[in-house]
Amino acid sequence: MNSLFEDETRGHHSMRDHLLTVVSDADIAYKLPGQNPTLGELLVEMGDIQGVYTHSFGTFTLDWAHRQLPAPAPITIASLRAWFAAQDDAMKGALSRFTEEELRIDRIDRGGGFVASPFVQHEVYREAVYIFYGKLSVYLRALERDAGEQWAAWVG
């Protein structure tokens, strides 16, 4: 067992959880012009990516088509909170099975000859989370929502 989820991932996900206190159910229906998803759909996409990475920790293969948990329906703040909590529990369980040493063994096939250790896979996932935070920041600005000093310090 290791503490990667509690020591690292929990903090990164705290920003997502904070966002859900800043926006409303009406806000998550907001859609930017063009072929953009609603804010709620973007949050579901973020959760689906978490599911892809969670699955890779168990199967040692990154499968972009895999969805760990079905998306909440309807998409509300409450359903997103519950869904993300379940996603977090699944990821914590998947990561917790590794010892500290096993986190450093290359074994997850990301495709194209890129084989990563669970630790590196987690680092790549963390980067994906912050890419989503950048996208979410655009929605916050369009909605004229201030996510506060912590969001500004962590995301920009």
Residues pairing with 115 in the sheet: 109
Residues pairing with 69 in the sheet: none
Q: Which CATH class is domain 4-154?
A: mainly alpha
Burial 78-93 (b: 16+ CB within 10 A, else e): ebbeebbeebbebbee
What integer pLDDT is reported at residue 155 of this predicted model?
Answer: 87
SS3 state of residue 109: strand
pTM, two decimals, is 0.94
* Residue 25 · residue 61 · CB < 8 Å: no
Sign for the CA dihedral angle at 117, 120, 122, 127 comes to negative
Q: d(Cα 100, Cα 98) in Å, to the nearest integer?
A: 6
* Residue 72 · residue 83 · CB < 8 Å: yes
What integer pLDDT is reported at residue 154 of this predicted model?
Answer: 85
What integer pLDDT is reported at residue 106 of this predicted model?
Answer: 95
How many CB atoms lie under 10 A from the CB of residue 72?
Answer: 19
What integer pLDDT is reported at residue 14 of this predicted model?
Answer: 93
Domain ranges of the chain: 4-154
Residue by residue, pLDDT tens for the chain (156 residues) are: 799 998 888 888 999 999 999 999 999 999 999 999 999 999 999 999 999 999 999 999 999 999 878 999 999 999 999 999 999 999 999 999 999 999 999 999 999 999 999 999 999 999 999 999 999 999 999 999 999 998 998 887
Q: d(Cα 37, Cα 33) in Å, to the nearest integer?
A: 9
What integer pLDDT is reported at residue 8 of this predicted model?
Answer: 86
* Residue 57 · residue 94 · CB < 8 Å: yes
